[in-house]
């Protein structure tokens, strides 16, 4: 069976600059599979998710490569068709639940609007579905929450609402963009478990963007390590934690805190490693220029 999402040789660049922000990124995900995108801040992890969903900032555009979602080449679609197709097929779990809900609208339309406006459900059916989903994300009083405004809910509650909203239309692909970064640690754990639960139940393909390797080990089957917008290592999760191949990946893994041995972990990434991986990225740029 061919992969549900295939990203092929994808490059993106800032307008008017020669510099690429995504450097020939390729990966694929099957139905029901979770891919972790890992890297430090500015490595381009979120950028990949945004490129797939068609929400890149206006200053950045895709300059080459293709994104195949459910067999459809997104770059070849008309922008309006592409938006509707993405809206019907994929969903985003955003990073910051405090800013991702519209402050002047109640929760109910924010969960049901995609079902009603894009997928043509009746309002009554969409409401039933929303209540069902709020139950699935373990919200005790779904009726009350549906009628609330975002400012009346806690951060953890809002992220549950956003997860419910993401899974509402039975998307075949979910992009989780650091969904737990803005939450405190105790809530993080519940939210992670919840995302994993829904992903398994609906056998959704998922791109999980994070800088936390601990989270990757719990949620993902495979992972890609990014540096400077380039994938430096693709690996299955068990293989990666058994021994990463790339020096930068090894350094990242060593930098991850371990509760069992706090003194031996949290090592800063060695400068020599950074220089080496940066040189590798630049070399790939040269190759790309000559090739292209």
Partner 1 sequence: MSVTLIGAAVVVFFVIRVVPGNPIAMMLPPGATEEDIARLTAHYGLDKTIFEQFWIWLAGVFHGDFGTSISLRQPVMPLVLGRLPATLELAIFALVIAVVIGGAMALTGVRHRETRTETAIDVANGVGLSIPDFLWALILIVLFGVLMPVFHISGRISPSLDLPFVTQFYVFESIARLRFDLWWDLLKHMFMPALALAIPLAAIISQLLKQSLKETMHLDYVTLSRTKGYSENHVILSEALPNAVLPTLTLIGVQFTFLIGGTVIIERLFSYEGLGNMAIDAVINRDLPLIQGIVIVFALLFTIINLVVDMTYALLNPRLRHA
User: Residue 92, interface with partner 1 (CB under 8 A)?
Assistant: yes
Nearer to partner 1, 110 or 210 (CB): 110
Dist. CA 82–CA 72, nearest whole Å:
10
Crossing angle of helices 247-255 and 271-291, in 10° steps, is 140
Question: HSE-up of 236 (CA within 13 Å, CB side)?
Answer: 4
User: Residue 65, interface with partner 1 (CB under 8 A)?
Assistant: no
Task: Report, in Å, the least distance between residue 55 CB and partner 1.
Answer: 5
User: Residue 95, interface with partner 1 (CB under 8 A)?
Assistant: yes
Size of the site for partner 1 (CB under 8 A): 31
Q: Going by C-beta distance under 8 Å and a sequence separation of 6 or more, which residues neighbour residue 169?
A: 87, 88, 91, 114, 115, 118, 119
Strand-pairing partners, residue 91, are: 174
Residues constituting the chain: 292
Question: HSE-up of 155 (CA within 13 Å, CB side)?
Answer: 16
Dist. CA 61–CA 208, nearest whole Å:
22
Nearer to partner 1, 13 or 115 (CB): 115
User: Residue 292, interface with partner 1 (CB under 8 A)?
Assistant: no
Task: Report, in Å, the least distance between residue 20 CB and partner 1.
Answer: 22
Q: Note whether 201 and 99 are within 8 A (CB).
A: no
Single out the segment in contact with partner 1 by CB under 8 A; choices: 18-26, 93-101, 210-218, 253-261: 93-101
Q: Note whether 96 and 162 are within 8 A (CB).
A: no
Nearer to partner 1, 183 or 223 (CB): 183
Select from 2, 16, 18, 104 the one that contacts partner 1 (CB under 8 A).
Answer: 104
Site for partner 1 in 119-138 (CB under 8 A): none
User: Residue 80, interface with partner 1 (CB under 8 A)?
Assistant: yes
Number of H helices, E strands in the chain: 11, 10
Single out the segment in contact with partner 1 by CB under 8 A; choices: 24-32, 81-89, 210-218, 219-227: 81-89
Task: Report, in Å, the least distance between residue 153 CB and partner 1.
Answer: 12
Nearer to partner 1, 25 or 90 (CB): 90
User: Residue 151, interface with partner 1 (CB under 8 A)?
Assistant: yes
Q: Note whether 179 and 93 are within 8 A (CB).
A: yes
Nearer to partner 1, 95 or 199 (CB): 95
Binding site for partner 1 (CB under 8 A): 53-55, 58, 80, 83-88, 90-92, 94-96, 99-105, 113-114, 117-118, 149, 151, 162
């Amino acid at each position: 069976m061919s992969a549900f999402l295939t990203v092929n040789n994808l490059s993106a660049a800032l307008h008017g600059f020669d510099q690429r922000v995504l450097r020939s990124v390729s990966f694929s995900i099957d139905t029901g599979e979770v891919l972790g995108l890992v890297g430090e801040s500015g490595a381009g992890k979120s950028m990949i998710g945004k490129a797939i969903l068609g929400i890149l900032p206006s200053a950045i555009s895709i300059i080459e490569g293709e994104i195949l979602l459910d067999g459809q080449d997104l770059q070849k679609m008309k922008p309006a068709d592409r938006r509707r197709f993405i809206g019907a097929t994929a969903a985003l779990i955003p990073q910051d639940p405090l800013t991702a809900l519209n402050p002047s609208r109640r929760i109910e339309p924010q969960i049901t609007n995609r079902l009603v406006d894009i997928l043509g459900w009746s309002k009554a059916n969409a409401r039933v579905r929303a209540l069902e989903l709020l139950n699935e994300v373990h919200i005790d009083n779904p009726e009350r929450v549906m009628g609330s405004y975002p400012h009346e809910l806690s951060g953890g509650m809002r992220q549950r609402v956003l997860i419910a909203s993401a899974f509402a239309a039975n998307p075949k692909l979910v992009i989780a963009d650091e969904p737990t970064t803005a939450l405190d640690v105790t809530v993080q754990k519940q939210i992670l478990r919840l995302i994993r639960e829904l992903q398994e139940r609906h056998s959704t393909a998922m791109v999980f963007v994070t800088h936390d390797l601990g989270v990757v080990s719990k949620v993902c089957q495979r992972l890609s390590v990014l540096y400077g917008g380039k994938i430096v290592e693709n690996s299955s999760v068990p293989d990666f934690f058994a021994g990463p191949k790339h020096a930068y990946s090894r350094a990242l893994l060593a930098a991850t805190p371990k509760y069992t041995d706090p003194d031996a972990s949290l090592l800063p990434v060695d400068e020599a490693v950074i220089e080496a991986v940066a040189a590798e990225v630049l070399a790939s740029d040269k190759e790309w220029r000559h090739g292209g």
